[in-house]
Structure formats: structure tokens, C-alpha cells
Amino acid sequence: MKRDFLVFLSYRLRFLSEIVAATLGVTLFYYVSRLITGGAFSSSDEYFAFAVLGLVVLEVLTAALIVMPMALRQELVAGTFERALVSAFGPIQCLLTMSVFPFLAAFVSAMITIAVAALIFGMPVDWSTAPLALPAAALGFVAFLPFAVLITAAVFVVKQVGAGAGLLITCLSLVAGVLFPVFLLPDWIEWMSDVQPLTPALDLLRHLVVGSPLDSVWRTVARLVAFAAVLLPLSIAVLQACLRYAQRHGTVLEY
């Protein structure tokens, strides 16, 4: 985590560029929301808040799914993964901790996005429950993490998985209601919104930050906990198996 933080600081304009990117993204969807009249949303402001929280969760999802496998890929290319292999901490633990700083960075960026939307464009924020978004985002990140672990495991076998991770993020964002409600999906695909953790994470954060209606907070939290509790141990077992496979075939350090 210290290493990742120092690398982040070495790019002197990176933090500023993230603020600019967040501002531009929010500005784009603010003016797109002005085109929304009726339909699934009662007002343009309602869709604007819906889209902003979708962007926020998508950013956290990208940090969960992209950064860990790409970090492993970079370690292999740079020839520095040997340090993790021989570390007393263990290669699996080293890989898992690669996700900590990206999550914190994504969370800070998400807070900047929400602040820009609220302070500049007047997005209403429910301040009584908004602080709970931090543990909710952490829970959502842990629920996403098994997918990142599985993609990272694939790096040991097929070496390049960037396109697959990007495709997974695109598919999840389409069926989870990132930028439009899931009830607008065709009936034959709407069921996919219930079998992955992005949908309940979105519903929970929208409820906490902007007060969107939610049938049951605790049921939504339970779904996220279940995704993490069931899938994370399985994904770590797959990661260990793929690492052993690469070690047996002598390809663990190939890239």
C-alpha cells in the first residue's frame, strides 16, 4: 500500500487530473439529464442523481476488477513478482493487498464526484445517512473482489486478461442499472440483475446518499455479505490453484 501511494504521488498532476475528470463526467451527465422529461424518472434532477451514483459505483467496480490483475501483469513484465513469491507474507496475500490502495483512491475520487455534483450542480444529498456510504462502499468492494481474484488467477494461466476484464465491467454495468433502471431491460435478460453484486451495491448507495427508495436495507446488505462470504473463499482457492499450476509448468514468471 505504501508503494502504491508513493507511485501515485510520483505523478504530480494525477490528483488534479482526477478532479478534472470527475468534474467533466458530472457535467456531461448533468446536461444529459436535462433531456430527461417523464418516463422512468419524475424529473431531470432525479435522473442526474441516479446517474452520478452509477458513475461512482462504476469507478469502485473498475478499481476492484481492473487494478489487481493489471498490477500482477506489470509485476511480471517488470520482473519484480519474485519478491512476492519468496516473501514470508506469501504471494496470495501480496496479491490481495494490491487492491487496498486502489479502493481507497477510488473512494476518494467517488467523494470528489459526489461533492462536485452536490456543490456545483445542486444534487440533493441525504446527509443523515450519507456517512454510511463508506462502510457500504467497502462492503460492495469486497463483494466485487472475488471477480477480480478470478481474473487475477487467469493471468497466471493465459497472461493477458485486460480485454476480458473490460468486457466484464461493460456487461455488469449494462445489467445492473448503472445509467438506467434495470426494469427497462428485456425480460429475457433482466434476471441477470439479481445474480451479481453490482445491483444491490448500487441500490444501497443510492438509498444512503440521495435517499432513493429501497425495499429493505438489511436484505440488501445480506445479499452483499452472501456474495462476499460464498465467492471470496472460492476465488482465493482458484487463485492458489492457478499459481500452483504455473509453478508446476515453470511459467509463473512468464508474461
Note whether residue 208 is domain-resident: yes
Distance from C-alpha of 48 to C-alpha of 50, rounded to nearest angstrom = 5
Print pLDDT tens along the chain (255 aa): 888 888 888 888 888 888 888 889 899 889 988 887 767 788 888 899 999 999 888 888 887 778 888 888 888 888 888 888 888 888 899 888 888 888 888 888 888 999 999 999 989 888 888 888 889 888 988 898 898 899 999 988 888 777 777 788 888 888 888 888 888 888 888 888 888 888 999 999 999 998 888 888 999 999 999 999 999 999 999 999 999 998 898 888 877
pLDDT at 180: 86
Cell of 244: 500452483
Domain of residue 235 covers 14-248
Q: In sequence order, which residues have a C-beta less than 8 Å from that of residue 50 and are 6 or more positions away?
A: 41, 179, 181, 206, 212
pLDDT at 65: 79
Identify whether the C-beta of residue 192 lies closer than 8 Å to the C-beta of residue 108: no
Identify whether the C-beta of residue 117 lies closer than 8 Å to the C-beta of residue 123: yes
pLDDT at 48: 92
Residue keyed to cell 504530480:
12
Note whether residue 57 is domain-resident: yes
Cell of 3: 508503494
pLDDT at 235: 93
pLDDT at 105: 87
Q: Residue 208 corresponds to which amino acid? A: L
Q: In sequence order, which residues have a C-beta less than 8 Å from that of residue 100 and are 6 or more positions away?
A: 1, 4
pLDDT at 223: 92
Note whether residue 98 is domain-resident: yes
pLDDT at 214: 85
Q: Residue 46 corresponds to which amino acid? A: E
What domain count does the chain have? 1
Note whether residue 253 is domain-resident: no
**What's this model's pTM, rounded to 2 decimal places?**
0.84
Note whether residue 255 is domain-resident: no
Note whether residue 8 is domain-resident: no
What's the N-to-C CA distance of the chain in angstroms? 24
